[in-house]
């Protein structure tokens, strides 16, 4: 199975041309810039129309409009092959995907440890917006990764951990059991100048 991973398009999704072929396309959050409902719906329309067999996305801290809407309501706007993961998972061709959003509100911040504890042990591909602590999480000499997330990944050992959020830390890091990917396709100035990643799972 070939997976195309991108993140942090920040409402510039329609400027993406000639996306590579894959079986699954995954967007790991910050689909919008201002977080409005109009931006989110435009992304959903675009994403749902892409020519991929399966499509998966999660919310990032810019995606305010998704924060108070239930996943079930969002899913009603999506075609059958497109999935919005919100502390939830989907199995495709025996590959287990799990997605966790990231918002800055107090409710979400206070529940992050509990949320991470629910990641299933058999997760093959973990999708988050925020990186784990110490892995492609640094900007201006400050680390913005999550220590609880790092502990969970160390315990679960998924084949892939896909994220974004920190534009300065775009790249891939392969460790013994897990490949980490920060696929933020915009730079620190929100210029769209990077390519998504392709993985064979």
pLDDT in tens, 103-157: 876 544 445 666 898 999 999 999 999 999 999 999 999 999 999 999 999 999 9
CATH code where residue 116 lies: 3.60.21.10
What pTM, to 2 d.p., does this model score? Answer: 0.94
Residues 28-50 pLDDT 10s: 999 999 999 999 999 999 999 99
Residue span of the structural domain in which 71 resides: 2-200
Question: At residue 98, does pLDDT exceed 90?
Answer: yes
Q: Rounded distance, CA 193 to CA 178, Å?
A: 26
Q: What is the mean pLDDT of residues 166-194?
A: 96
Q: What is the mean pLDDT of residues 148-170?
A: 97
Total domains in the fold of the chain: 1
Rg of the chain over CA atoms, in angstroms?
15
Q: Rounded distance, CA 116 to CA 140, Å?
A: 27
What end-to-end distance do the CA atoms of the chain give, in Å? 5
Q: Rounded distance, CA 164 to CA 136, Å?
A: 9
Categorize the per-residue pLDDT at 59 as very low, low, confident or very high, splitting at 50, 70 and 90. very high
Q: At 180, is the secondary structure helix, strand, or coil? A: strand
- What the block records as the tokens of 99 is 């997605």
């Amino acid at each position: 199975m070939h997976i195309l991973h991108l993140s942090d398009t920040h409402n510039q999704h329609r400027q993406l041309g000639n996306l590579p072929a894959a079986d699954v396309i995954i967007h790991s959050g910050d689909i919008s810039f201002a977080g409005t409902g109009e931006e989110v719906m435009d992304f959903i329309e675009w994403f749902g129309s892409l020519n991929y067999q399966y499509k998966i996305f999660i919310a990032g801290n810019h995606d305010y409009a998704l924060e108070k809407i239930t996943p079930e309501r969002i899913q009603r706007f999506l075609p059958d092959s497109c999935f919005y993961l919100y502390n939830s998972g989907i199995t495709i061709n025996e590959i287990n995907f799990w997605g966790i959003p990231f918002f800055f509100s107090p409710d979400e911040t206070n529940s992050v440890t509990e949320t991470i504890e629910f990641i299933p042990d058999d997760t093959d591909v973990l999708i988050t917006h925020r990186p784990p602590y110490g892995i492609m999480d640094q900007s201006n000499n400050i680390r913005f990764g999550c220590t609880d997330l790092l502990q969970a990944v160390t315990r679960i050992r998924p084949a892939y951990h896909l994220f974004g959020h920190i534009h300065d830390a775009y790249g891939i890091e392969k460790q013994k059991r897990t490949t980490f990917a920060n696929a933020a396709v915009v730079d620190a100035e929100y210029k769209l100048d990077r390519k998504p990643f392709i993985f064979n799972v």
